[in-house]
Amino acid sequence: MSLRLLLPPRGSLLLLFPLRRRQTPRPPPFRTTATDVPHRASSFFSIPIRAFTGVSGMAAGTHQRTVEVRESVELTEEEERIFARLLDVVRHFGLGTQLRVAGGWVRDKLLGKGSADIDIALDNMTGQNFCERVNEYSKFMGEEQKGIGVIQCNPDQSKHLETARMLIYGIWIDFVNLRSEKYAENSRIPTVEIGTAKEDALRRDLTINSLFFNINTKSVEDLTGRGLEDLKKGLIDTPLPAKSTFLDDPLRVLRAIRFAARFSFTLAEDLKEAASDEKVKSELGSKISRERIGHEVDLMMSDKHPVNALRYIRDLGLFYVVFAFPEKLEPPALDKHDWLCVSHLEAAWNLAHSIGRSVFSGGSDSKSQDEQQRLCLYSALFTPVRNMFYMDKKSKKVPVVSYIIRDSLKLKASDADTIVNIHVASEKFAELILLLESNENLETVKEKLDDEYLEIPTDLVKHVFAGLILREIKGFWRVALFISILVYPEVGNASDSLGKQDELDKRKERYISVERSITNLDLDGVWKMKPLLDGKAIMGVMQVKSGGPLIGKWQQRLVKWQLAHPQGSMEECMEWMKQSEQQSKRQKIECST
């Protein structure tokens, strides 16, 4: 019998993500206690881009689709070898230890997904002691002993029990005690004690993460009694009552959302009610460090379904807790910025997957496509607040986007700088797009580029203007162009507008046309263009002994001259500078007389 989740209506835009192709299955030696579910091999997973319509879960009027849960855990040859070695250690020393693989590895195996994250829970000894026994056995077998890494307790980082790690047959394995946790009233740091397997399962964040694979008995253990059932239903729920679970550790709210989005699962009703509780939201904002919140959000944005995750954050009333805004904004924040931001993310998601991965091809010297996609999605999410500022302690105007990335999420400062630069460049691209499409603003752009020393030929205005923009944004120019196409012309509801196929096609074609125009101008990589003259050479031409603002202006002017004269030589450039300087002196003399 197969169980089903909801599919989008016929005609909805689908996005295909290739998964690692499975090896030819062989009869697995390890059985689970799950109800038998027929396994159908599939090399692709279809994702409905607009399948969710709020916290109620699935879109109305849709049908269910199958959640494939394997009847057995299929091990790789490496995993079989590792587990056999661990059992040999237990038998050799007569330890009597039950070895259990915990959490996500079991879940992913039952879903037919690969996993390299093997965490082994021990029932009668510490991880470090067991690792030492592994090394003793290796020595007995005449094999090389491996180093043991011990990760100490760090409650502030949700690390409540010491973990030992070692390399076994080329794979890092973590070893930890089974444990129970008790939380004090006003702390998310629990009192941790050695516990039973059931206590360990019940203290976990979600039922689908509470499953064990018992290596000794070669079976899956569902000690909460709900893990397998919820996995088959595609349901995200907590082993213990959701509200008390979240009040114990409010970070679990974001973990629940992340896993619901990752697997396109549904949040249980009582879990949604608990996540929306005002006390839980308050505790999330006060108990959890901004670094931990930012880490969870970053995992969501880097995963396959960021739109679904952000919808849940918005619909559960968590947006302003997660993305805390600074005080005294200019202009003041609107009540609906949560809806505006998420609708722009959804619109960007639809448009990006309509265009394809070429949006994120920034060249070999740029960040990876995944990193470009991640920063593009952040840029889209915060597009509605791109023009908002606040005054810092030094009375300096700082973009709100920078505050959210740096302070609310505690992500890298370079992420904040890149996103702000993408927003700035996207506005310049809006002007360039008009120039490329109609020439109606040709004279306006030409006036901006011209100065008393340099007049840009009319037929090269596009080349120079586009080149200057690309030199500022560098390898992220396609992302900035994409955001510009997304935002301009602005629409009342970005999500609804770009949900319409005709508008999606129109903006897709516009992006492709402008991107082609820029590449036809031979500007991709123009930021690598080296100036024909450095600052010292410019000082020599200008016959000055020190630098300063004058040299800086000439360096900027020199870049425009090179863009206007792609084949120009150093000698020609120097001659132009000398003539310009002489002309300037004559004009000053004429003005004085």
Q: In the chain, what are the domain boundaries?
A: 66-233, 235-322, 376-491+499-528, 535-591
- Strand 171-177, strand 118-122: pairing: parallel
Contact 387/426 with Cβ under 8 angstroms? Answer: no
Tokens of 8: 């989008």
Report DSSP state, residue 405: I
How far apart CA 340 and CA 487 sit, in angstroms, is 12
How far apart CA 524 and CA 474 sit, in angstroms, is 9
* CATH match for 66-233 among 3.30.460.10, 3.30.1490.20, 3.40.50.1820, 1.10.10.10: 3.30.460.10
How far apart CA 561 and CA 541 sit, in angstroms, is 15
Instruction: Tally the residues of the chain.
Output: 593
3-state secondary structure 417-446: HHHHHHHHHHHHHHHHHHHHHHCCCHHHHH
Spell 571-590 as b/e; 16+ CB within 10 A means b.
eebbebbeebeeeeeeeeee
Q: Which helix (H) or strand (E) holds 479?
A: helix 477-487
Q: What is the mean pLDDT of each run of 10 residues along the chain (593 residues)?
A: 34 32 36 34 28 38 61 91 97 96 94 91 93 95 91 51 88 90 56 81 95 95 95 96 94 97 96 98 95 97 96 97 91 83 94 86 63 95 95 91 97 97 97 92 92 90 96 95 91 64 90 95 94 90 81 91 93 90 63 58
Query: Residue 275 has what pLDDT?
Result: 98
Alpha-carbon distance values, 73 to 32, 227, 233, 397, 462 (Å): 7, 15, 19, 56, 60
Tokens of 298: 């970053």
CA angle 118, 297, 470 (to 5 degrees): 115
- Burial of 503 from C-beta contacts in 10 A (0-12 / 13-18 / 19+): middle
Question: Contacts by 548-557 with C-beta closer than 8 Å and gap 24+?
Answer: 555/531, 557/451, 557/453, 557/454
Listing DSSP states for 205-224 in one string gives S-GGG--EEETTTTEEE-TT
Say which CATH architecture domain 235-322 belongs to.
Orthogonal Bundle (1.10)
Please choose, from the candidates 121, 92, 93, 91, the residue with its C-alpha nearest in 3D space to the C-alpha of residue 105. 121
575 Cβ contact list (under 8 Å, min separation 6): none
